[in-house]
Structure 1
Amino acid sequence: MHGQATEPFYAICYPILAVIGVPANLAVIIILSRGRCGLSHCVTFYLLALAVTDFLVIISGCILNRIGGIYFSNSVMFTTQGCTLSTVVIYTTRDGSVWLTVAFTIDRFVSICCHSLKIRYCTQKTASWIIGMLCVLSCAKNVPYYFVFQPLYVVDGVSWFCDIKLICYTSPAWLAYDWLDHILTPCLPFLVILLLNILTVRHILATSRIRQKLCITKNHGDLEMSNRKKSIVLLFAISLSFLLLWAAYIVHYLYGQLTGEGYTTPNDPWYSFQEITNMFQLVNSLNNVFIFAVAQKRFREEAKKLIMYPFTWLIGCFKHCKID
C-alpha cells in the first residue's frame, strides 16, 4: 500500500473512470445475462463473470480507495479496520479479474487449437466450476493481507489508516508471500496469456494455409473461418489489452526489485509512474466494455436497445395515457 494520490490530475481522472466504468460494466452485466449476443453459454459465463469482477474493481479500487482517499480521507473507510478490509477486497477483486482473463484465454485457446479437448472442456459446467474455483482461491490468497497492517496513529481511541508492520519487511514467510503474490498476479498470468496468444496465432496461420489449399469453391468465403473470426477477435482484443495495460506494472515492479528504488513524495517521478500503473489497472477493468462493443455486432444492437429502453418505455406510457 502507498499514499493516496492527491494531485489535481488524479482527482479528475479517477472520478471520470468511475462515472464511465460503473454504468458501463452494469450495462455489460445486464446485456450478457440476457443471453442475446449470439455467444455460446461457455463464453457468456466467462465474460459475465469478468464484467462482474471488473465492476467490483471499479467500486473497490477506484471509488472506495482512490476517490475516497482524495475527497473523504477522514471517513470510516480510512480507519485501520476499514482500510484493512478494503485492501483485502481490492486485491481479491483484482486477482479475480486477472485470473478470469486467463481462464477465458485458456478456454478460447482450447476451442481454437485443441479440438479433441474442446467438447469436454468448453462447456457451461466446466466454466461454472472454474469461475467458482477462481473466486474462492482469490479470496483465500488475499486473507493474509488482513494481518499485514497496524494503525498509522490513534486519535481518541480510534485507529486511523494502515501502516505495514515491520515484521513484513524482515520475516522470510512474509517476504515469500509478497513474492508469491506478485508472481501469481500479474507476472504468471501475463506470461500465460502471452504464450497462449502466440500459440493461437501460430495455429491460426497454419490452419489458414491448409484451408486455403483445400478450399474447393473460389467464389465463396470459408464460412467456418468467418464464424471463428468473432471469437478470435474477442480473444485477442481482451488478452492483448490486458498485456498492454499490465506491462507498465510489471516493469515497475521488476525495476523496483532490482534497484530497491521507491518513491518518496508526489513530486518524485517514480511516484507518478507507480500511480499511472495503478490507473492502468483500473482502465483494464473499463476497456472490456468498449472491446465488446467494437468486436460484437449483436452486443452493439443489445446495447442500443438498453440505452433506448427508458425512452421507449416513456413513449409507451404516454401513448397508453393518451388512449385512456
Structure 2
Amino acid sequence: MHYPIDSVLKIYYSTLGVIGIPVNLVAILVLSRGKCGLSPCTTRYLLAMAMADLLFIITEVILWRITYYYFPSSFFLITPVCSVIYALRCATMDCSVWFTINFTFDRFVAICCQGLRAKYCTERTAAVVLATTGCFLCLKNIPQYFILEPGDVIDNVPWLCYIKPRYHTDPGWVLFNYFDKISTPLLPFVLMFLLNTLTIRHILVSSHVRKRLRGQNTKDNCSDAEIESRRKSVILLFSISSSFILLWLVRVVEFLYYSIAGANTRDYNKSEFILQRVGLMLRNLNCCTNTFIYGTLQAKFREQLMSAVQYPIKSMLRLIKKQTD
C-alpha cells in the first residue's frame, strides 16, 4: 500500500541521516573531553546516550530506511543481513531510551536522595549501570532476528524482510511482542513522568523550606550556592526529559490504541497508518535533539564546541605560516 506520506518519509529520513550522524559525533567528541563543567558521572551518561543515538541513526535511518528507499537491490536487503540490521536497530533504540532513563534516575537520586547520592552518583556506578543495561537489552533483542521472513527469493537468494504472519497469532510471539512494547516505550514513558514528578515535588518543597530558613537568618541577599548549582542540572534534566516525552508521545498513543483496539498493523487504515508513521518520525527525531539541548543550555559545551571547530582551522593556519616563514 502506497500513501503520499511515503515521499515525505524519503526526504525526511535523508535529512535526518545527514544531520543526525555529525550532530551525535560532535556531542561524543565534545563530551569525551570532559571539559563541559559537568560531573564525571553525568558526562558518562550523556556520552552513552550520544553513542546509542549515533548507532540508532546508523542502523535505523541509514541501513534500514535510506537503503530501502535508495538502494532496493543492495546487499543490505538480503534477508539474513536485514534481519541482523532489524535486531540491531531494536537494540540500539532500546539503549537510547533506557540510557535516558538511567540518566534521569541518576539525577533523581542526586537531587532527592541525599543519603544515597554519595554512593550512587559516581562514575563507577554509572559505568556498571550502563554496561548492565546495554548487555541486557542486547540479549533481550536477539529474538528480533527470528521474527522476519523473506519477501521474495531470486536465484535461491532470499530478499527483503517481512514480519512472519504467526508473529501476530502464536502465543509465544504475542507475549514477546507485548513484553517488547511495554519495555519500550510504555514503561520508560511512565518512569520518566514519575521520576520528574517526584523531582519537581522535592525541589518545590526544598526551595520553600530553604527560603524560610534563610528568611529567619541574617539579611543575606546573596544567591544560594546550592540552589544555583542544582538549577543548571535541573534545567538540563527537564529539557532532555521534556524532549523525550513530547517526541515519544504519539508512539505511546499509537501503542495504546494498538493494544486496546486489538488492531493488526498490517490492517491499518489510512489514518492509522499515518499516525504510526508520524509516531516513528518523531521517535527517530529524538536521537538528534540532545546535542542541540546541550548547546542551548550549557555555555561550556558551546565553548568546547567552538574550540573543536576552530582547532583544525588554527592548525592549518599555523602550518601555512610555518611553511611561509
Common fold: TM-score over 0.5: yes
Question: CA offsets, 1:101-138, max 9 Å, x none?
Answer: 01000000000000000011001111000110011011
Task: Give secondary structure in 2 for the equivalent of 1:7.
Answer: helix
The aligned residue for residue 28 of structure 1 is: 27
Which runs of structure 2 are paired with 1:1-324 in the superposition (5 Å)?
7-215=6-214, 216=217, 217-261=219-263, 268-323=270-325
Query: RMSD of aligned C-alpha atoms?
Result: 1.9
Check whether the contact 1:5–1:275 (CA below 8 A) recurs between aligned residues.
no
TM-score by length of 1: 0.95
**Percentage identity across paired residues of the two chains:** 40
> Kindly tell me: are residues 50 and 95 of structure 1, through their superposed partners in 2, closer, same or farther at Cα, counting changes over 3 Å?
same
> Kindly tell me: are residues 223 and 3 of structure 1, through their superposed partners in 2, closer, same or farther at Cα, counting changes over 3 Å?
farther
Q: Quick check: 162-171 or 10-19, which moved more?
A: 162-171
Question: How big is the shift at 1:263?
Answer: 6.0
**AA at the equivalent of 1:176:** L
Check whether the contact 2:28–2:51 (CA below 8 A) recurs between aligned residues.
yes
Whole-angstrom CA distance in 1 between matches of 2:181 and 2:14: 27
> Kindly tell me: are residues 265 and 70 of structure 1, through their superposed partners in 2, closer, same or farther at Cα, counting changes over 3 Å?
farther
Question: How big is the shift at 1:266?
Answer: 10
Question: CA offsets, 1:153-201, max 9 Å, x none?
Answer: 1111110111222332222111111000001001001101100000000
Task: Give secondary structure in 2 for the equivalent of 1:159.
Answer: strand
Whole-angstrom CA distance in 2 between matches of 1:7 and 1:53: 27
Q: Quick check: 208-217 or 114-123, which moved more?
A: 208-217
> Kindly tell me: are residues 70 and 6 of structure 1, through their superposed partners in 2, closer, same or farther at Cα, counting changes over 3 Å?
farther
Whole-angstrom CA distance in 1 between matches of 2:83 and 2:197: 39
Q: Quick check: 297-306 or 257-266, which moved more?
A: 257-266
**AA at the equivalent of 1:189:** P
Instruction: Give unmatched runs, 5+ long, in structure 1.
Output: none
Instruction: Give unmatched runs, 5+ long, in structure 2.
Output: none
TM-score by length of 2: 0.95
Whole-angstrom CA distance in 1 between matches of 2:245 and 2:72: 32
Check whether the contact 1:256–1:262 (CA below 8 A) recurs between aligned residues.
yes
> Kindly tell me: are residues 299 and 58 of structure 1, through their superposed partners in 2, closer, same or farther at Cα, counting changes over 3 Å?
same
Question: How big is the shift at 1:5?
Answer: 9.2
Whole-angstrom CA distance in 2 between matches of 1:5 and 1:79: 27
Check whether the contact 1:5–1:70 (CA below 8 A) recurs between aligned residues.
no
Whole-angstrom CA distance in 2 between matches of 1:175 and 1:47: 34
